Chain A
Amino acid sequence: MTTVGQNINELSTPELIVDLSIVDKNYKTVSDAYSNSHLKMRTHTKNLKSPFLARRQVEAGGSNGGVCTAKVSEAEVMIEGGFNNILIANQVVSDDKIERLCSLAKNADMKVGIDNVENLNNLSKFAVKHDVNLGVLIEINTSMFRCGVRSSEHAVDLAKAAISLPNIDFKGVMSHQSIKEPDPSKKERWDIGEAYIDTFLDAKRAIEEAGIDVDIVSTGETFTFDIVLKYPEITEVQGGTYALMDVNYPYMPFEIAAKVMCSVIDINLDKNLITVDSGNKCIAAPNFAKPILEGQDAELKSMNLDYSTYKVPDANKLKLGQKLFLLTTHQDGLINRWDKFVGTRGQIVEGVWDILGRGCYH
């Protein structure tokens, strides 16, 4: 049983620990940067999956008061959590999900990404049927070659279609980016980020040149958190990882708040190996990625569903039952594997919260 005021060393393991003082610090970094700027954070909650954590950014400042989700079901969770300005930063194409999206539009300002005119027509058809208006943002591909239109011309065609359709409000443009370089210099990071954003803004300007207003210009993420400030045209930033962080952005001004606390359950002194009671089931390690054992200079030797074995410099310094922390390479994958998290201030438990968006894939 986990109780408020407990020291985390007394908790049973494995346990997902979220240090709220670090979350708040990360939020303050955003607030300090964006509060008095032309753009605002629209926190992407596919990472957090928790209205409780998402609200803290709004309260900290620098937010536009809305959130992003990746799925209709995640949007439902955020609306239940009190948000009424939602951007599903993804496509919603299945008829039954569009019906569900329209239902949400009766209760909140709903916006959704588009990259296909057939989908746009379908959104309009269902919006008319349900007598609601759906906001749409055209997704512009800049680097990920996932969803998103591939050219400014296509973006203009879609924008023209959007403004012609009933019950569709053309709102603007959006994009996602990722950075593949593991540890870029500041210049490399800025060069990469600027190139992506420039591609994105080319599409935005093309739409405007066609005589169509673009109100929302939504882009950016953790690695371009500071770069976006250079662009007066950008209105909002879709940051996700920054709130809880993982090991992929050590060069950004955010700290890791979400960790899996584990226990040492075996020690092999001859080989300097230790085994901990946490494996793939509770910490995301996509495509054989290697979670980090915090503060141990340890090398992952093997990982199965329930255990991980690390080679450490001196196993003699560790004890059976000792608590350690695992850091993931994929934070939103990690959060999705847990139903609850233990919120702490440093070592002390502040509460246990449900991860209400876990498993919301629909």
Chain B
Amino acid sequence: MDRSINKKIGTNYLQLDTPSLVLDIDAFKFNLDTINFKLNSIDLSVRIDVNSHLSKDILNLQLNGFSNALGISSSNVGQASIFSQMTDDILIDSPIISSDKLDSLININAKCAYNSLVQLQAVDHSKLSGVYIKIFEGEIDEFDSNILSYIIENKIKINGIIVEFSNYKSKKDNVVSKFIESYPELNKITNNFIASGKISISEYELLDSNFTEIIISKLPLIDNEITENNEEELKESIKIISSVLSIPDNDRMVLDTGQKAINIDYGFPKIKGIKSAEVQYLSAEHTNIFVEKSELKEFNLQDKIEIIPNDISSVLNQFDSISIIRNEKLLSIFEVSARGVYK
């Protein structure tokens, strides 16, 4: 577990023990407001994906910040259970198959999502108060219509159909209407369609008007992936503060933070504020950065370096806490409540 040195409230964020995961609360709230404004204009209800941040405190801000917040989406029963005191409307965006997990799901009155006939056939759905069906936008043409027949035949209650977009560049309009055209029996099952996955703010207005809900994932937190796909509208809110550990060459610095803290499963992070910085590689405890000689001269051991991760959700799962800052000063510590909860 985290054994960082606790610093007093009011400490400048550059004096925190490194590595530290730091969230600028005002930037985060600005992002929430921006997203909320856009969503209100298209009248979509919001479901918050707790798997993207794993934090009760962040969920609390989101539930209060989105005017149309319905409930949460989570990735497993254990995670859902942690957040179950904060909402009654819980979607587990995954298939739950095993009987012990189904029992837990029933205990917290959550509903899970299935995406294949073989999954639906494997569970005793008479015990369940409803399920979601999940389809992937890129695979809609291959949708197995036997799923719909099975649902109708077995009178399974469907709470909604989740359409997951796996690519920011994919078309977001007419997705549901085409699906309904192809499978008119959908009308007998549900009229609740949920947009999920990689949707940039600029695409909200283009979303198929049949969508009733949208799952908001890591968007307000901002990582490199979000920045690249939501260009101008959101503010940087979260980053990792690291220290210069070694300057062994005249064109290289080594930081005290490696891939154990900055998950690089989705690619290398970016270094802020050093024009010529190029991340060479991350080992378990170090980030190795090329910096042009003229620029490197400005740095010393212990200097603080700010790092923006490529995928913030995977990074959050590696920290126990988030340092919350306002005007560059430590305001509070948020616990990453569901870190390491995989079942």
Contacts and interface: CB of A to CB of B under 8 A. Distances in A.
B284 A333 contact: yes
Contact of B285 (A90, A150, A287, A307): A90
Contacts of B256: 93-94
Contacts of A358: 1, 340
Interface in B136-159: none
Tell me which of A12, A91, A361 has the highest count of chain B C-beta atoms within 10 A of its own C-beta. A361
Contacts, number: 170
Interface secondary structure of B, over-half rule:
loop
Interface string A91-102: 101111100100
Give the size category of B's interface with A. 35 or more
Given A146-B283, A147-B286, A266-B95, A281 B314 contact: yes
Tell me which of A116, A119, A147, A288 has the highest count of chain B C-beta atoms within 10 A of its own C-beta. A147
Contacts of A305: 51, 75, 313-314, 317
A93 B98 contact: no
A306 B75 contact: yes
B94 interface: yes
B285 A284 contact: no
B18 interface: yes
A43 interface: no
Tell me which of A94, A278, A330 has the highest count of chain B C-beta atoms within 10 A of its own C-beta. A94
B245 interface: yes
Given A267-B118, A278-B342, A76 B3 contact: yes
A155 interface: no
Nearest to B319: A359
B101 interface: yes
B288 A145 contact: yes
B232 interface: no
Contacts of A141: 248
Contacts of A268: 116
Contact of B302 (A13, A94, A333, A360): A94
Contacts of B119: 265-266, 320
A320 B314 CA distance: 27
Given A306-B75, A320-B122, A14 B267 contact: no
A100 B3 CA distance: 11
Contacts of B263: 280
B36 interface: no
Nearest to A141: B248
B252 interface: yes
B265 interface: yes
A362 B267 contact: no
Contacts of B267: 287-288
Contact of A337 (B5, B18, B318, B320): B318
A54 to B, nearest CB: 17
Given A147-B246, A359-B318, A360-B1, 11 more contacts: A14-B342, A148-B248, A266-B95, A280-B263, A280-B265, A280-B314, A284-B259, A305-B75, A332-B260, A339-B1, A358-B1
Interface of B: 1-5, 17-19, 51, 75-76, 94-95, 97-98, 100-101, 115-116, 118-119, 122, 243-249, 252, 254, 256-257, 259-261, 263-268, 282-286, 288, 300-302, 313-314, 317-320, 340, 342-343
6 contacts: A284-B265, A287-B268, A320-B119, A330-B259, A359-B319, A362-B3
